[in-house]
Amino acid sequence: MIPIAAGARIWIATGHTDMRKGMQGLALLVQEGFGRDPFAGDVFVFRGRAGTLIKALWHDGIGLSLYAKRLDRGRFIWPSTVDGVVALSAAQMGYLLEAIDWRNPQHSWRPQSAG
């Protein structure tokens, strides 16, 4: 998991993003497209058109980091709105990275007793 500070906000960039963009291109998108500061310590998450790759952009106070995750099977769950950003909690970000539906996580069945 990304070592995110407790006060950091997590933002999902809705819609599809060109996954050929690197740190500079995504930081420019955050700054000009969303009107937010990419160096403020918030995490910005982007998804490509196919839905199998996400990139997370984060500035930790020392430097800019770019994390990527590609799924072998399935797709990342993404909001259906076209433009803008959606805020997530750290727990929802964990679900997102595990390809679990972060909008409505379902607990798996657990046995209540051993016998």
pLDDT by residue (tens digit) across 40-99?
989 999 998 888 899 999 998 899 999 999 888 888 887 776 667 888 888 788 888 887
Which overall architecture, per CATH, does domain 10-98 show? 2-Layer Sandwich (3.30)
Closest to 14 measured CA to CA, from 94, 88, 69: 88
Going from N- to C-terminal start, the domains of the chain cover 10-98
pTM of the model: 0.81
Q: Starting from the edge strand earliest in sequence, which strands make up the sheet with 43-47, in order?
A: 64-70, 53-59, 43-47, 10-13, 85-88
Is-contact 105 89, C-beta < 8 A? no
pLDDT reported for residue 72: 85
